[in-house]
Amino acid sequence: MVIALEMGWRHLLFENWLVDPAVIEAHLPEALAADVYDGSAWLSVIPFTNVAVRPKGVPKRAGIQLPEINVRTYVTRDGVPSVYFFSLDAQGLASVVGARYFHHLPYYYARISIDGTDGKVRFRSRRRHPGARPANYEATYWPTGEPISAPDDPLGSFLVERYRFYTQSPDGSLRYTDVDHEPWTLYPAAADVETNTLLTADGFAHPTSEPVYFYSPGLDVVAFPSQRREERK
């Protein structure tokens, strides 16, 4: 990404599993370390939609909507809690190509639908990226309790209050992007997940632990240009 982007993230499900840190470490670049909460690493699948995606400073009405689902984990480098993405599936073909080229993120083209009725969100994604492993996801999810300020909830804060994400470019270099937004508001959530082959497509066995669910109606975000992370001498 060569310019900052503004967007909204809306109708998010945070579907989270605790896993052995060694499992996560085996999938990370050497420069990153798995972050842990109570001794466990975490793996998450997050369906949502981007709204009003546009260059920073451009009016919202000029933005576009991009449904997306990603697989991520939690890492640290230089003491900064961050996110590492294993895959990101998105509806917009041009946006997928742009994110791969400018942002060095492992985006895949998918056909995605998201809609809501009776307070529940229905999300369907089917990967259509040429040459990629098949990866499908289908779920209905909804909030079940009172709102939680994520900074006040230890696990919620660990999972969502992160303002940097890392990726590894095709040449092996480590890159990062910083994001800026207000603190998250989360809700306890429930989900009926009918299909999820994203984890196996990314090389993980499906976790045996029960998932922990959070829902958020969303927030507005600024994502700054991707930068190359220099290796320590």
User: pLDDT averaged over consecutive 10-residue blocks of the chain (233 residues)?
Assistant: 86 98 96 96 98 93 93 96 95 62 76 94 95 94 97 98 90 90 98 97 94 98 86 49
Give a yes or no: residue 233 inside a domain. Answer: no
Give a yes or no: residue 81 inside a domain. Answer: yes
Residue 91 CB-density burial (10 A; 0-12 exposed, 13-18 middle, 19+ buried) = buried
pLDDT at 13: 98
Give a yes or no: residue 69 inside a domain. Answer: yes
Decide: 52 and 60 in contact? Cβ < 8 Å. Answer: yes
C-beta neighbour count of 155 within 10 angstroms: 17
pLDDT at 233: 40
DSSP 182-232: PPPEEEEEEEEEEEE-HHHHTT-PPPSSPPEEEEEEEEEEEEPPPEEEPPP
- Residue 9: which H helix or E strand, with range? strand 5-19
Q: In 3D, which of 86, 70, 71 has the Cα closest to residue 29?
A: 86
pLDDT at 3: 83
Tell me how many domains the chain contains.
Answer: 1
Q: What range defines the domain where residue 179 resides? A: 5-224
Give a yes or no: residue 160 inside a domain. Answer: yes
206: left (phi over 0), alpha (psi -120 to 50) or beta: beta
Give a yes or no: residue 68 inside a domain. Answer: yes
Decide: 67 and 156 in contact? Cβ < 8 Å. Answer: no
**Inter-CA distances, 112 with 51, 124, 188, Å:** 14, 6, 24
Give a yes or no: residue 9 inside a domain. Answer: yes
pLDDT at 169: 79
Q: Could you tell me the CATH number of the domain that includes residue 30? A: 2.40.400.10
CA end-to-end span of the chain: 26
pLDDT at 97: 57
- Residue 69: which H helix or E strand, with range? strand 64-77
Torsion of CA 45, 47, 52, 55, to 10 degrees: 20
The amino acid present at 33, given as its one-letter code, is A
Give a yes or no: residue 85 inside a domain. Answer: yes
Q: Is the pTM of this model over 0.85?
A: yes
Q: In 3D, which of 141, 124, 132 has the Cα closest to residue 195?
A: 124
pLDDT at 172: 80
Give a yes or no: residue 232 inside a domain. Answer: no
